[in-house]
Structure 1
Amino acid sequence: NTLFNALLNNEDFRKLDFKPLILTLGGGMAVQKGVAERWKALTGCPISEGYGLSETSPVATANKFSSSDFTGTIGLPLPSTEIAIRDDDGNNVPLGEVGEICIRGPQVMAGYWNRPDETAKV
């Protein structure tokens, strides 16, 4: 959001030709609806948000790139990625309940580099 907002407020950036732009991805922090609307108005391209962690190098979910509107959501799991929301005991929680996001997939790191002790903890 900070980057998109800064670019939108940059006079030289606003003068660019955005016709070749076909995809804009947002991540690292939530994009505000007002910024997303200004981005689409300037570039003609909606922002698709995703969610990830350093451990998912870097994304686990993303909005469909075919969407023409900003959704403000983190989208769907990427192919071969499984997502579960679990309680403190590791049980899946019912839809709409609060819990920990658990991710399994090919992009999830196997362990911490040269830190088997830290890998064992998680």
Structure 2
Amino acid sequence: MGAFLDGIGQVGGWLDRLAAKKDRSDAAVKAVLLAANETRAYIVDWTAGSRARDRELVLVRLWTDAAVAIRRKDREFAHQLQAKAEYWTDPERWTQADVDRVGIRIDAVAARARSLLGGGM
């Protein structure tokens, strides 16, 4: 009977680890989508002539958090997200060619983020 209970305990532990992994994956996708949506909203305001350095610094943190959160799911994408954070530290320093070369155009990043909604970890 002891071996049976040990086996059930091991299965329970495995299920707990699986649930925790799914929660981390969901949190990572949420972090990326939040950063993308906040960025899109800010770009609308900036285009209308309302640049705000404090909002750019929030975007730096959001993209950095997203990069760290997604690193276990997609390391290459994590590097792109960190580049997005670096972009927002000084967006005027970046040329459009730089943005294209690194692959951090908001439409492309947002599309990749949306694609994560359908995948599991």
Same fold (TM over 0.5): no
Which structure's CA Rg is the greater one?
2
TM-score (norm 2): 0.24
TM-score (norm 1): 0.24
Q: With CA pairs under 8 Å and 6+ residues apart, which has the higher RCO, 1 or 2? A: 2
Structure whose residues are more often strand by fraction:
1
